[in-house]
C-alpha cells in the first residue's frame, strides 16, 4: 500500500521515534508546526476515525496525553493542541489515522480560524435533532 506511515512502520522511511508499544508508535512530525510536534500512529492501517476500532482509539488518545505530558516536561511547554484530521477538506494529507500533538508558543504560525456562520434558531434545532437522531 502506498502509505507513508505504513512505510515508516515497516522501516522503509526513517523517523524520529519518541514512543513505541505493541499497537502504536509516536514520531516527530517531519514538517513540524513547532518544536516537539509529534504524531501518534497506530501500527494497523486505519484510514480515519470512522475506521479505527474503539479500543485502539482509546489507547491512541491515552498515548497522546502521555506524549503531551512528556512535551510539557521536556520542552517546558504548557499550551498544547491535540487534534486529528479526517478527510481532505479537514486537512488530512496522510490517509492513515494519526493524532497530532502540537506545542503552542506565543505568536506562532499555527491557525485554525473561522468566521462564525449565521444560523437561525429553528435551523439550529433541526440540526441538533438530526444529529441526536443519528447517534
Give the x-and-dash track for 39-78 against ligand AMP (CB under 6 A). ----------------------------------------
Interface pick for ligand AMP out of 30, 127, 128, 129 (rule CB under 6 A): 30
DSSP annotation of 12? S
Cβ atoms of 23 and 43 closer than 8 Å: yes
| Burial class, 74, CB count within 10 angstroms (exposed 0-12 / middle 13-18 / buried 19+) | exposed
Identity of the residue, 90 or 128, whose beta carbon is nearer to ligand AMP in the bound complex:
90
Closest CA to 98 of 70, 57, 65: 57
Q: What are phi and psi of 15, to 5 degrees?
A: -150, 165
Does 109 bind ligand AMP (CB under 6 A)? Our answer is no
Closest CA to 101 of 76, 84, 85: 84
Does 5 bind Zn ion (CB under 5 A)? Our answer is yes
Show which residues are catalytic. 98
Q: Which does 3 bind (CB under 5 to 8 A by kind): Zn ion, ligand AMP, none?
A: Zn ion
| Residues in touch with Zn ion (CB under 5 A) | 3, 5-6, 45, 96
Q: Which residues bind ligand AMP (CB under 6 A)?
A: 4, 13, 15, 27, 29-31, 85, 91-94
Amino acid at each position: 500500500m502506498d502509505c507513508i506511515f505504513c512505510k515508516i512502520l515497516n522501516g522503509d522511511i526513517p523517523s524520529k521515534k519518541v514512543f513505541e508499544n505493541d499497537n502504536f508508535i509516536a514520531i516527530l512530525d517531519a514538517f513540524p508546526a513547532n518544536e516537539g510536534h509529534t504524531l501518534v500512529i497506530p501500527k494497523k492501517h486505519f484510514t480515519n476515525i470512522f475506521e479505527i476500532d474503539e479500543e485502539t482509539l482509546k489507547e491512541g488518545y491515552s498515548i497522546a496525553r502521555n506524549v503531551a505530558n512528556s512535551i510539557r516536561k521536556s520542552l517546558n511547554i504548557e499550551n498544547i493542541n491535540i487534534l486529528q484530521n479526517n478527510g481532505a477538506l479537514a486537512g488530512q494529507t496522510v490517509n492513515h489515522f494519526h493524532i497530532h500533538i502540537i506545542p503552542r508558543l506565543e505568536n506562532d504560525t499555527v491557525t485554525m480560524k473561522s468566521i462564525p456562520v449565521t444560523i437561525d434558531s429553528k435551523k439550529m434545532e433541526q440540526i441538533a435533532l438530526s444529529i441526536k437522531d443519528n447517534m
